[in-house]
């Protein structure tokens, strides 16, 4: 567009690639940065680079971490006989914020969804089975979202873990059905964890 | 927050400083980037750095540019006897997009607003007076927003330029009163430019 320098155009393009940011918002952000000091923009640029260079997935639980294994997997004060299975890291963070769970985690990185072609190989189910096989795990709490895909995934995990004599539970349906775990309020989420019931 | 690496926390902080992005959106963006390649995040980081290192204000019209003077001020095909005065660079871009104006510009970088302490010294009015004094300017079209501050600014400029025998006009009130120039549709904005009337 005439009158817009290329580097500004490019910045607007990059911002509009982000989720929830359209071209108009991207433009607004770029013009906002224009009126700020260069240091403000550089701080954001640095945060981005630091983030991609330092944040990795934990080789045990597949959560995100700067060190491997992650803070939670490496913490000797956590209860090591129980694993809470979540779809995404954001779910783990929501549960941690309740302060009502002190065990370990396993991040699936998605959920079984045959219609979208997401099978057990696309998520970290094999790695969960290995953890259950090789560790002293008494219980696996499934904290998948309370929707069809979550139900399918919970059922699949309960069946695949059945031979290993581990108790498979699921967090209670205190959560609104069809809702999204990440956005539940802390007390609903706490109650759902307390009221977990056997899956099979 | 437990479970969130510091670099992620920092990235979320930086994103939430941007206009229109709350903590929840910032988190969503960060997790989105987590699932993208590092190159995607680095492209955004690079766009930010390129932007702040290469985009400056034009010493003549105070628009943004990678070279000084800017593309428009340096363009011999532009009509050099007419200056369109706008509040912000985004207004200049909106007018350029109509293709109905071929003169020069002057970006005030704000608008007179005594209640917020914005006087003539805070915006580029002195520099506009210098341009009118030293150049062969026949007409100054004021394209300030059609609201109280815009009216005040237009009136002030018309008075301060009166001694120099330049015609001061204002774009027509085809724009909805109280609205924002940047978001006007192209044909309304075109008509407003065509229908400009003398300010005093």
Q: What tens digit of pLDDT does each residue of B2-11 get?
A: 567 889 989 9
Query: What gap in Å lies between CA A148 and CA A146, rounded to an integer?
Result: 7
Q: How many CB pairs under 8 A join A and B?
A: 163
Q: Which helix (H) or strand (E) holds A132?
A: helix A125-134
Q: Does A1 have pLDDT greater than 60? A: no
Residues 94-133 of A with CB under 8 A from B: 96-97
Q: Which pLDDT band holds residue B172 (cuts at 50, 70, 90)?
A: confident
Give the tens place of pLDDT for each residue, B54-95. Answer: 988 999 999 999 998 999 999 999 999 999 999 999 899 889
Largest CA distance in chain A: 69
Query: What gap in Å lies between CA B99 and CA A142, rounded to an integer?
Result: 60
**Percentage of chain B modeled with pLDDT above 90:** 55
Give the tens place of pLDDT for each residue, A110-148. Answer: 999 988 888 999 999 999 999 999 878 999 999 998 888
Query: What gap in Å lies between CA A24 and CA B182, rounded to an integer?
Result: 10
Say if residues B174 and B118 touch (Cβ distance below 8 Å). Answer: no
pLDDT of residue B4: 76
Minimal Cβ distance to A63: which of B3, B89, B90: B3
Residues of A in contact with B106 (CB under 8 A): none
Say if residues B56 and A26 touch (Cβ distance below 8 Å). Answer: no
- Which chain A residue shows the shortest CA-CA distance from B19? A29
Q: Is the pTM of this model over 0.95?
A: no
Task: Spell out the residues 6+ positions from residue A36 whose beta carbon is closer than 8 angstroms to its own.
Answer: none
Q: Does B28 have pLDDT greater than 80? A: yes
| Spatial CA neighbour of B50 closest among A9, A21, A53, A51 | A9
Name the CA radius of gyration of chain A, rounded.
21
Residues 55-84 of A with CB under 8 A from B: 55, 63-66, 71-72
Residues of B in contact with A63 (CB under 8 A): 3
Instruction: Give the lowest-confidence range in A53-62, A155-164, B100-109, B142-151.
Output: B142-151
Query: What gap in Å lies between CA A61 and CA A83, rounded to an integer?
Result: 9
Select the residue from A8, A38, A48 to test the B interface by mutation, using most B Cβ atoms within 10 A: A48
Q: Which helix (H) or strand (E) holds A104?
A: strand A104-107
Query: What gap in Å lies between CA A44 and CA B17, rounded to an integer?
Result: 9
Contact between A33 and B51 using a beta-carbon 8 Å cutoff = yes
CB atoms within 10 A of CB B127: 17
Angstrom CA distances, A15 to A12, B10, B89, B95, stand at 5, 18, 19, 23
Before A50, cis peptide (omega within 30)? no
| Spatial CA neighbour of A150 closest among A177, A174, A124, A183 | A177
pLDDT of residue B74: 94
pLDDT of residue B174: 67
Q: Which pLDDT band holds residue A156 (cuts at 50, 70, 90)?
A: very high
Tokens standing for residue B168: 């001061």
Q: Does A188 have pLDDT greater than 70? A: yes
SS3 content of chain B, % helix, strand, coil (to 5): 50, 10, 40
Strand partners, A113: A118
Of A18 and B172, the one with more pLDDT: A18
């Amino acid at each position: 567009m005439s009158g817009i320098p290329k580097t500004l155009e490019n910045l607007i393009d990059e911002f509009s690639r982000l989720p929830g940011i359209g071209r108009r918002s991207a433009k607004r952000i770029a013009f906002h940065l224009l009126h700020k000091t260069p240091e403000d923009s550089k701080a954001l640029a640095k945060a981005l680079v630091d983030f991609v260079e330092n944040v990795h997935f934990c080789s045990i639980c597949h959560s995100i971490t700067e060190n491997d294994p992650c803070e939670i997997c490496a913490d000797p004060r956590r209860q090591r006989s129980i694993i809470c299975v979540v779809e995404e890291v954001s779910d783990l963070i929501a549960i941690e914020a309740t302060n009502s769970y002190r065990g370990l985690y396993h991040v699936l990185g998605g959920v079984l969804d045959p219609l979208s072609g997401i099978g057990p190989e696309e998520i970290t189910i094999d790695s969960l089975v290995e953890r259950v096989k090789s560790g002293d795990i008494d219980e696996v709490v499934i904290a998948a979202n309370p929707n069809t895909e979550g139900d399918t995934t919970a059922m699949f995990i309960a069946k695949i873990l059945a031979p290993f004599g581990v108790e498979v539970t699921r967090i209670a349906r205190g959560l609104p059905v069809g809702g999204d775990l990440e956005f539940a309020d802390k007390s609903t989420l706490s109650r759902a964890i307390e009221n977990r019931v056997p899956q099979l």
